[in-house]
Structure formats: C-alpha cells, structure tokens
Amino acid sequence: MTGAWIVALVALVVAVVAYGHSRRTARQLAQMTEMYWQLKFDHGELRAKVDPPAPVAARPQETFVPLTQLKR
C-alpha cells in the first residue's frame, strides 16, 4: 500500500513540474511572438521611411477604334 502512495506522489510531483514548465514555455512563446510582430512592424516603418516612393506609371490613352478601321 505504501508503494502505491509513493508512486502516486511522485506522479503528482512530476505532473506539477511539467505543468509549470509548460506554462513557462507558453509565456515565452507569447513573448517571442509579440517581439516578432513588433520587429516586423518596425522594419516596415523603417523601409517606408528609407525607400523613395515609386513613380506612378502614366496611364495609357484609351481611344475608340471603330471596327471598320481594323478591316482595312
């Protein structure tokens, strides 16, 4: 009977340690994800400040061409 209690207590201690470890890992993952998105945002802002705006291409002239003109 004492052996079963020892096994149960050891299992409980292992479970509590594993739970604490998983909580700490989840917190670190959330922090790393936040840092990644902040860095990505900052990089985009800096690139927008450094890169000159691209010149807008001129829009082609749209004209009507009758079909009779194409048949000649």
pLDDT confidence of residue 16 = 98
What are the distances in angstroms from CA 39 to CA 3, 28, 32, 33, 62? 54, 16, 10, 10, 44
17 vs 71: which has the higher pLDDT: 17
pLDDT confidence of residue 22 = 98
Over residues 8-27, mean pLDDT: 98
